[in-house]
Amino acid sequence: MYEHLHHAPCAALPFEGDRVHYATIVFQRWTDLHLNYILGNSGTITPPASWKICLSTTAVSAMARNSAISVTVSGTNVNELASSTAAGYARQDVARTIAQGGIDWAASTFDNTLATGGTSQAADQVTFSFTGVPSPQGANSWFMGDGTALNAGQIYVAADTAATRNFANGDTEKVTATIKSG
């Protein structure tokens, strides 16, 4: 039997049950950069010399648009993996070029599908290497930031990893960042 959802009481709506969280988030700094730098030619909010791909123990569901990278884990702060014991972890660069450098961005692709379409741009894959067990441990997301100091700098976008991954000596982790706009 076909049921018009707008006639049903809220409690009966199917999406009130096992709701899953969105797996990506765009932070305030990313939108500030687009608006201030692109529209207004800002000299204070500017892109970094290169993008840094980083890992975090924080799941996207615990992040907010104004989340900050912080060693003090409280509220919606984002905690970087391995910030106490690196065990080999270091941030990985993605150059600000298109299909030029060793690890940079591919040409953007456009999808004109109604509602779900937009323009996407994928970065080359980056690789993290681990010489032991990092602390904190357990990657739940990756994020794009700037600078090389751990648990510091700006945070632009983040996305969940498919699993909570715990690393040990000899492990590598791969991230292929794709940014979609629109």
Partner 1 sequence: MSKHAEIIFETGAHSVVSYDDVAELERFLSEHHRRATTGEYGAAQDYVPRTDIEPELAAQADRNATRPAERIHKVLLYSDHPSDLHSDTVDVDTAKNLIDGMAVGGEFDSEQLVQALRDERSPTFPQDQGRLHSTYKAQEDGELDLSFLSDEGDE
Residue ranges in contact with partner 1 by CB under 8 A: 20-23, 49-50, 52, 59-61, 86, 88-93, 95-97, 100-104, 125-132, 140, 148, 160-174
136 Cβ partners below 8 Å, 6+ apart? 57, 79, 81, 82, 83, 84
Residues 139/56, Cβ–Cβ less than 8 Å: yes
- Closest listed residue to residue 141, CA positions, set 78, 84, 56: 56
Which residue lies nearer to partner 1 by CB, 1 or 115? 115
Which residue lies nearer to partner 1 by CB, 73 or 86? 86
Shortest CB 42 distance to partner 1, Å: 14
Shortest CB 7 distance to partner 1, Å: 29
Which residue lies nearer to partner 1 by CB, 27 or 167? 167
Question: CA–CA separation, 69 vs 142, rounded Å?
Answer: 12
The amino acid at 162: A
For the CA atoms of 147, 41, 66, 177, what is the dihedral angle to 10 degrees? Answer: -50
Which residue lies nearer to partner 1 by CB, 9 or 43? 43
Which residue lies nearer to partner 1 by CB, 2 or 22? 22
Shortest CB 130 distance to partner 1, Å: 7
Shortest CB 125 distance to partner 1, Å: 7
Shortest CB 169 distance to partner 1, Å: 5
Residues 55/108, Cβ–Cβ less than 8 Å: no
Residues 106/56, Cβ–Cβ less than 8 Å: no
Q: Where are the beta strands (DSSP E) in 57-113?
A: 92-95, 109-111
